[in-house]
Chains A and B, each alone.
Chain A
Amino acid sequence: MNAPVARRAWRGLPGPARGAGTGAVVVAVWALLASVMQRGLPLGIVLRGVVFGSLIALLAIGVVLVYRANRIVNFAQAELGSVAAVLAIEFKLVWGWNYFVAIGTGFAMAAILGAIIDAVVIRRFHRAPRLILTVATIGLAQILKALSIIIPLLFGGLTAGRFETPFEMRFDIHPQVFNGNHVMVVVLVPLIMIGLIAFLRFTDYGIAIRASAENGDRANLLGIPVKRLSTLVWAMAGFLSATAVILRIPLVGFASFQSVSGSGNALLLRTLAAAVIGRMESLPRTVVAAIGIGIFQEAAAWQYSDTDFVDALLVVVILAGLFLQRDHFSRIAESGISTWKSIREVRPIPRELRNVPEVRWATLGVTVVLTTVAVTLPLWASPSQEQAAALIAIYAIVALSLLVLTGWAGHISLGQFALVGFGGAATGVLYGRHGWDLLLAIPAGVVFAAAVAVVIGLPALRIRGLFLAVTTLAFAVTAETFFLEDRYVPWLIEQRITRPALWGRFALERGWQQYFFCLVGLLLAIAAVRNLRNGRTGRAIIAVRDNELNAEAATIDATRTKLLAFALSGGLAGFAGGLYVVNQQGLFADAFGADTSIRLFSMVVIGGLGSLPGAVLGAIYVRGAEFFLPAQYELLASGMGILLLLMFLPEGLGGLVYRVRDGFLRWVARRRSIHVPSLLADSRVDDDPLTASVSIDPSESTGASPQKEEVGV
């Protein structure tokens, strides 16, 4: 019996029979695991997994709702309700409020805060690319997290205490003691689920939310108040987030030293994985996935007594879950992916203007200024700033690698910096331990990182967009805790190396020496990426991204091209890793965590994914603000700074730069009376009857070399 037939037969069974069948499979799997695992798999651990999985489910549902309303991944979901929740906890612990009054107040505040965030922040990004809004939520998460840590300190000093439900009960299911706190979770979460599903199915607002999720523009045309619904969704997301925190704290305890929201990137990974396995659409499926992940993590922790192993194994489970879902991508998910891709690529200077003296002089002027700044930096920068500039150059190379993968190939990577780690590890161990020449060790690191990238890219042959993003996030989390950790892969990690003298002549010890070494590396990377973009490979990568079938019809091997994009991107990241390990004089896994990769992703989006200078600019902005500006201006690179920047420059810094450039080019075109179609495409053509008949070459808008060109009039 083949799979489709079996599936049809399964669906044909009556409900009770399917329930019994599912139950039998679950019990069989449990029995199998219990007999295979060294410590067994007691029922108490499974139920504990159900409880913690239910809390993941609350967050994942929030992610799904926001995704459906705004087509973004809300990185702030876990933190969204933390401010209100921590206030509720302080009301009870410090002010002695009644439990129900405290949590009721917390729920209300969370919902209101969610609505306010939508009104103040989210709506401003209504017309911005979704990636921009997604990065804005990263900034939002940082702000909310900081607030949730500071509030208790301002409120009542350092506090620790038991914030518990008032239900007195206790029962043992080996090895776990369950009490009212656990019961509260298993009762409340299903009730919330049922309420939510009923709301979405049977109320006008719920139906309207679903309608606008299916097609926001059509819903808007039909008179549905899409913006108001978005506010409602964010209020619900805030409520769900606060509920997750308020239910979780009684289970794990409270101390005002850290965010109450949960487990950082590890929780983010679990939440996103559940939402993605639920196809960003199905709430019941999301809940089941979350509970499955919860059970798995508790079982693995029980077995290995070390979270590093849990994270490593979770990657396998998430990948398996995503692969099983591959054939079930919904229209929503697919449309989401296409929305995510819609980054406008920057067009080159139009041919008509390239040789105009003003443009040539301006180009030369900018080049001279940039070159002067770059070359003279050691004259005016301090030694630490030279080192910082070297680091910025390395980050810029990684940003370029992300440009290739995300900007060109359309694959979102939240684990790019982990590839830097692999390249650096190979370089470090070959140079530091095996005595290879550094200039041979670096290319070897490039090859190794490219190979790792191809392995990560294999799922990309089957999954895309958000789905691949979760895979790469899992890769980043485990790279830090497992795959680049000296304890687990001692053959790969050389923690301490000395900086060499190139060719026995050029020492790399001082700040300025490091700076020029990395600057040369960046220039090589820029040259490589430019050549790649202008060559057949770059065009093929973009063609496959834009339309795989069309590309294949043009004899482009889509599979090979996708993997090539991963390999090239990984190679660039590996090259950066080689420079990084020399700069840092060794390699430690903690530098390659998901935080850094997510930050890198933010940098590139802030700069502009559509262009090479934009990607570099993003790295310079974020790290440069941290390194070069006085302390009072470091806020620019913080969550608040990123959020404000994106609120006022939704197209990112790259967009600003190109707007200025295009303004200048228009001025030149007007001054010289040159009609340039690609520039006029942005403005109202009916203003000038001369341009009404302009034929616009679409290849210009994607930056490809035009085969033919028609100039207006």
Chain B
Amino acid sequence: MQETRKDPLRFGPLAVVATIWVAITTFFPTDEPGGPASASTVAAGPGATTVVGSTGGGTVATSGGAAAGSGGAGPAVTAGGASGGGGPASRATGGSGTEAVAAGASGVTKGGLPCEPGVRQLPISSYAHPCQPAWSGDNGGATHRGVTAESIRIVIRTFPETANSQAVAAVGEQAGAASEEDTEMVFRTFLDYFNEHFETYGRTVELVEYQSRFGNGTTEAQSKGREEACLDADVVANELNAFGVVGTTAAAVSGPFAECAAQRGVVVFNGAAYFPEKFYDALHPYVWATTMECERISYQVAEYLSKRLVDRPAQWAGDPLLQTQSRKFATYVPNNDEYQHCVNITESEARRQGHGDANVSRYNYTLDVSRFPDEAARGIVQFKADGATTIVLACDPISVIFLTQSASSQAYRPEWFLIGVALQDTDNLAQLYDQTQVDGHLFGMSQLGATPKLIGPASEPGRLYRHITGQTIPDGTAGGYTGLHQIFNLIQAAGPHLTPDAIAAGAPTIPPGGAPDYPFGYWSFADGPDGTPGAGDHTAVEDSREIYWTSAYVSPETDKPGTYVETYGGRRFRNGEWPAEEPPVYPAG
């Protein structure tokens, strides 16, 4: 038996099989990345015709105007392959094959409105694409999966109701949020109106609701659940044959889902909130968002801290001893790749500007909700020991609840600095923070607009709703106004030959939206995350306002004490625009 074991011939069959295997793979190699599985094939999908590189043959009833977009498509940068292939700027001119779009020309729009340079497609909106005269001609038909000569199919991904979500929704309604029915009604009103007025080149945008069959909102909110998210993306791409997808919540178009959708050639119009530009870049041209990506936030945080806080006493700390000390910052941030990358940008910027010493502490917490309380407790002990006067909240709002509670437990009363991510700057969540910690001590940046400017009769959606229906918009909803703008702006900018590449080519050409009122912020895809003009990015909002938390006022959102108040009358600042002065938060009296 021993002799048999030592006999090398017993490995003979294995060696033969291995040799044959190697020979087969040598003579008949598997295609490498970038081969047949590249984006053009992925994007085509079943039942669609891929016409990459061709142009539509339409004409625009125009009396002049600037051309946007470009012709001559090369193969797209694949979503799944080795990423790269030029920076955002080079991508912006790369390959849609789209015919020139006559934005800003004179004439009459599709909706029958007079169009002149400087007028938007929806005159009431600060965010709509510049108007263009009604288009007619051949739009190329089925230019991509989900696109026909008559329609563009976009899926709205939602999660099924659970006992948990129903309870949360009930609490939301108690706090003044609109009912689901009201929100749906307003949304449909806007959708119809947008279809009538935005230039969609002979097509109608169909929004199809898809209640997730596989995914889980809580899991995806923690950037997990990729298997299930990918299965949902399969449904969206291959069963619903969608051109694009949007979500009713941030979790519904989470990072994992956005990635899976992009891999299947589906355009995500509001995906992966607060992920870094490098994430969108790797999935170009498929994933876009309205919320500001975290690289830009990081550059702005660095600028804000350097110009307005560094080398000044922490006067809004709760502890009188800390109030007299020069500010030292501690950052609380999830320890996943994306957010670490962004906080690294803030720190390197601070070092570049000579303020590196001001960052005295950083705690990287695990993005797992079950570990939040323990992590927050440890972080606070560390921050206090490191002598931090100001805690930079680069984290989710639930963690802020635990951080503030732990700080009270540790008799630690620092300044709390918001960076505006993940709804930490909303009243209903901030009311759950330990008020003894935050009242008078919580301030910083917010990318959201003030609630009365976002929703309600005086808001832009409220005015449009009255314009359309003659009625007052229901309380507590904007009916998905910004999301619809994002979709229709990008489609109009893409031109008649609609493909993801055309979207990418058109996006940077959309003139900035929002100015001068900035209710939802300054929108543009033209500039880089660090503010470099023309460098391009994939997210719309480019500016932040300054806010502070006080319990002196009742929240218009929740009708409970405690609300965010904005400084400078709500003025917003882009990269490089933050004034070099003490924040005017907590004015005396």
The chain A residues found within 8 Å of chain B, CB to CB, are 42, 44-45, 48, 52, 149-150, 153-154, 157-160, 162, 170, 174-177, 179, 181, 250-255, 257-259, 261-264, 266-267, 298, 301-302, 305-308, 382-384, 387-388, 391, 432, 435, 437-440, 443, 481, 486-487, 496-505, 507-511, 555, 584-586, 588, 590-591, 593, 626-627, 631
Assess the B398–A157 pair: CB atoms within 8 A.
Answer: no
| Choice from A157, A383, A498, A499 contacting B174 with Cβ under 8 Å | A157
Subset of 17 A-B contacts with CB under 8 Å: A52-B374, A153-B167, A153-B168, A175-B385, A253-B376, A254-B373, A267-B370, A307-B375, A383-B237, A384-B213, A384-B214, A388-B214, A432-B33, A487-B340, A497-B80, A591-B227, A627-B214
**Residues of A contacting B434 in the complex (Cβ-Cβ under 8 angstroms):** 162, 253
Assess the A258–B398 pair: CB atoms within 8 A.
Answer: yes
Complex-state Cα separation, A151 to B511, whole angstroms: 50
Query: A162-B434, A308-B364, A502-B30 are contacts. A555–B1 as well, Cβ < 8 Å?
Result: yes
| Choice from B36, B256, B411 contacting A177 with Cβ under 8 Å | B411
- Chain A residue with Cβ nearest B26: A437
What per-residue 1/0 map shows which CB atoms of B410-429 lie under 8 Å from chain A?
11100000000000000000
Query: A150-B167, A174-B385, A507-B36 are contacts. A588–B226 as well, Cβ < 8 Å?
Result: yes
Any A CB within 8 A of the CB of B582: no
Assess the B25–A258 pair: CB atoms within 8 A.
Answer: no
Assess the B29–A437 pair: CB atoms within 8 A.
Answer: yes
Q: How far is the CB of A586 from chain B (nearest CB, A)?
A: 7
Stretch with Cβ within 8 A of A (4 or more), from B121-129, B306-314, B400-408, B540-548: B400-408
- Chain B residue with Cβ nearest A481: B366
Known A177-B409, A502-B30; 13 more pairs at CB < 8 Å: A162-B434, A176-B410, A266-B368, A307-B364, A387-B234, A440-B25, A443-B21, A500-B33, A504-B31, A505-B28, A586-B80, A591-B224, A593-B224
Any A CB within 8 A of the CB of B532: no
| Choice from A266, A440, A500 contacting B371 with Cβ under 8 Å | A266
**Residues of B contacting A251 in the complex (Cβ-Cβ under 8 angstroms):** 377, 409
Query: A153-B171, A255-B432 are contacts. A585–B80 as well, Cβ < 8 Å?
Result: yes
Interface centre among B31, B167, B239, B371, by most chain A C-beta atoms within 10 angstroms, is: B31
Q: How far is the CB of B180 from chain A (nearest CB, A)?
A: 17
**Residues of A contacting B515 in the complex (Cβ-Cβ under 8 angstroms):** none
Assess the A258–B1 pair: CB atoms within 8 A.
Answer: no
**Residues of A contacting B41 in the complex (Cβ-Cβ under 8 angstroms):** 509
Complex-state Cα separation, A149 to B370, whole angstroms: 11
**Residues of A contacting B226 in the complex (Cβ-Cβ under 8 angstroms):** 584, 588, 590-591
What per-residue 1/0 map shows which CB atoms of B553-574 lie under 8 Å from chain A?
0000000000000000000000
Interface centre among B1, B2, B372, by most chain A C-beta atoms within 10 angstroms, is: B372
Query: A305-B364, A305-B382 are contacts. A252–B406 as well, Cβ < 8 Å?
Result: yes
Assess the A175–B230 pair: CB atoms within 8 A.
Answer: no
Interface centre among A44, A258, A497, by most chain B C-beta atoms within 10 angstroms, is: A258
Complex-state Cα separation, A636 to B382, whole angstroms: 45
Assess the B227–A391 pair: CB atoms within 8 A.
Answer: yes
Q: How far is the CB of A294 from chain B (nearest CB, A)?
A: 11
Complex-state Cα separation, A160 to B373, whole angstroms: 12
Assess the B24–A503 pair: CB atoms within 8 A.
Answer: yes
**Residues of A contacting B335 in the complex (Cβ-Cβ under 8 angstroms):** 306-308
| Choice from A175, A177, A258, A586 contacting B372 with Cβ under 8 Å | A258
Any A CB within 8 A of the CB of B483: no
Q: How far is the CB of B552 from chain A (nearest CB, A)?
A: 21
**Residues of A contacting B28 in the complex (Cβ-Cβ under 8 angstroms):** 503-505
Any A CB within 8 A of the CB of B35: yes
- Chain A residue with Cβ nearest B432: A160
Complex-state Cα separation, A26 to B258, whole angstroms: 52
Complex-state Cα separation, A590 to B38, whole angstroms: 26
Any A CB within 8 A of the CB of B458: no
| Choice from A176, A509, A585 contacting B381 with Cβ under 8 Å | A176
- Chain A residue with Cβ nearest B375: A307
**Residues of A contacting B401 in the complex (Cβ-Cβ under 8 angstroms):** 160, 253, 255, 257
Complex-state Cα separation, A181 to B377, whole angstroms: 13
- Chain A residue with Cβ nearest B83: A496
Assess the A439–B362 pair: CB atoms within 8 A.
Answer: no
Any A CB within 8 A of the CB of B32: yes
- Chain A residue with Cβ nearest B403: A253
Interface residues of B in 25-77 (CB under 8 A from A): 25-26, 28-38, 41-42, 46
Query: A308-B366, A391-B227, A498-B78 are contacts. A158–B168 as well, Cβ < 8 Å?
Result: yes
Query: A154-B167, A384-B232 are contacts. A253–B405 as well, Cβ < 8 Å?
Result: yes
Assess the A383–B373 pair: CB atoms within 8 A.
Answer: no
Interface centre among A162, A179, A498, by most chain B C-beta atoms within 10 angstroms, is: A498
Assess the B81–A496 pair: CB atoms within 8 A.
Answer: yes
Complex-state Cα separation, A687 to B47, whole angstroms: 67
Complex-state Cα separation, A591 to B366, whole angstroms: 15
**Residues of B contacting A497 in the complex (Cβ-Cβ under 8 angstroms):** 33, 80-81
- Chain B residue with Cβ nearest A298: B378
Assess the B171–A307 pair: CB atoms within 8 A.
Answer: no
Any A CB within 8 A of the CB of B164: yes
- Chain B residue with Cβ nearest A153: B167
Any A CB within 8 A of the CB of B185: no
Q: How far is the CB of B451 from chain A (nearest CB, A)?
A: 18
- Chain A residue with Cβ nearest B174: A157
Any A CB within 8 A of the CB of B238: yes
Complex-state Cα separation, A157 to B231, whole angstroms: 33
Complex-state Cα separation, A439 to B18, whole angstroms: 11
**Residues of A contacting B35 in the complex (Cβ-Cβ under 8 angstroms):** 498, 500-501, 504
**Residues of B contacting A159 in the complex (Cβ-Cβ under 8 angstroms):** 432
Any A CB within 8 A of the CB of B263: yes
Any A CB within 8 A of the CB of B282: yes
Complex-state Cα separation, A9 to B349, whole angstroms: 62
Any A CB within 8 A of the CB of B22: yes
Assess the A498–B34 pair: CB atoms within 8 A.
Answer: yes
- Chain B residue with Cβ nearest A265: B370
**Residues of A contacting B232 in the complex (Cβ-Cβ under 8 angstroms):** 384
**Residues of B contacting A585 in the complex (Cβ-Cβ under 8 angstroms):** 80, 230, 263
Complex-state Cα separation, A162 to B436, whole angstroms: 11
Complex-state Cα separation, A154 to B171, whole angstroms: 9
Any A CB within 8 A of the CB of B551: no
Complex-state Cα separation, A384 to B82, whole angstroms: 25
Complex-state Cα separation, A566 to B81, whole angstroms: 34
**Residues of A contacting B25 in the complex (Cβ-Cβ under 8 angstroms):** 437, 439-440, 503
Any A CB within 8 A of the CB of B485: no
Assess the B31–A501 pair: CB atoms within 8 A.
Answer: yes
Assess the B402–A252 pair: CB atoms within 8 A.
Answer: yes
- Chain A residue with Cβ nearest B372: A258
Assess the A498–B81 pair: CB atoms within 8 A.
Answer: yes
Complex-state Cα separation, A333 to B379, whole angstroms: 39
Assess the B381–A384 pair: CB atoms within 8 A.
Answer: no
Complex-state Cα separation, A623 to B80, whole angstroms: 26
- Chain A residue with Cβ nearest B223: A590
Any A CB within 8 A of the CB of B120: no
Q: How far is the CB of A376 from chain B (nearest CB, A)?
A: 19
Assess the B213–A631 pair: CB atoms within 8 A.
Answer: yes
Query: A432-B33, A497-B33, A504-B30 are contacts. A162–B408 as well, Cβ < 8 Å?
Result: yes
Interface residues of B in 144-179 (CB under 8 A from A): 160, 163-164, 167-168, 170-171, 174
- Chain A residue with Cβ nearest B232: A384
Assess the A259–B168 pair: CB atoms within 8 A.
Answer: no
Complex-state Cα separation, A258 to B2, whole angstroms: 60
